[in-house]
Every structure is written in structure tokens, then in C-alpha cells.
Amino acid sequence: MRILVDENVDVKIIGLLKKLGHDAVRTPPGTKNGSVIRMAVQERRVILTRDSDFTDANRYPPSRCPGIIHLDIHPPHFDKIAPPLKSFLSSVAEEQMSGKLFVVSADGYDQFT
């Protein structure tokens, strides 16, 4: 899966994603949300973020991008994020991501369109 990792996600997650076989790149520091969406569309990448602004479907409609994964895990440390993210990625296929928002928590995930 092609994934655009927002700057607010622990940088170690990129290494995990690559180890799992994903094509993961990080947004440049200071990239505004609108630019993150544009990058995801241009590069056909699913957005991985902790920024709750991306859960606002009126401002950032999931239908306009290859998909959004919002990490709602606290504290946002690698050891807390990695297990639920790995579980999510193993249960949702890339073709299921397009145009959808997924909120991943320590207990599982929810899907929104």
C-alpha cells in the first residue's frame, strides 16, 4: 500500500510500514492539511495521521482522496500505535481504503464514508 505519513506520526512508524511491505513516505515538516490532501491525491497515497482535523468530512471529505487513516491512540508512542496499526493493515485491503476514513484505536477501528 502507498501511504503518506503525516509529520505528527512517530517517525518509527515509517520503518514499521516499510518492514511490512508498504511504500511509506513522510510529509515535509510544516505541510498544511490542504497540501497533505493534494499530495495524497497526486501520489495516490492513503493518509496516515493523528490530526483529528482529517476526521471532519466537511473540511476533508474522504471521497476526495485515496483514503484516510486517523490514529486515535493515546499516548501516541510507537509501542502503543504499532500493534493496532498492524492489526488494522492486515484486515483492510488497499482497495477498501479509497474514499473512506478509518479511525484506528487501541480496541480496533471504525470506518466512515
**68: CB partners within 8 A, 6+ apart:** 46, 47, 49, 54, 55, 60, 62, 100, 101, 102
CA distance 10 to 52: 16
> What pLDDT was estimated at residue 72?
98
- In this predicted structure, the answer to whether residue 20 has a pLDDT above a threshold of 90 is yes
Domain count, the chain: 1
Percentage of residues of the chain with pLDDT beyond 90: 98
- In this predicted structure, the answer to whether residue 39 has a pLDDT above a threshold of 90 is yes
Q: Could you tell me which of 80, 79, 19, 73 has the C-alpha nearest to residue 49?
A: 73
Biggest distance spanned by C-alpha atoms of the chain: 34
Domain extent, residue 20, equals: 2-112
- In this predicted structure, the answer to whether residue 47 has a pLDDT above a threshold of 90 is yes
What's the burial of 89, exposed, middle or buried (CB within 10 Å: 0-12/13-18/19+)? buried
Q: Can you tell me the mean pLDDT for 70-88?
A: 96
> What pLDDT was estimated at residue 113?
81
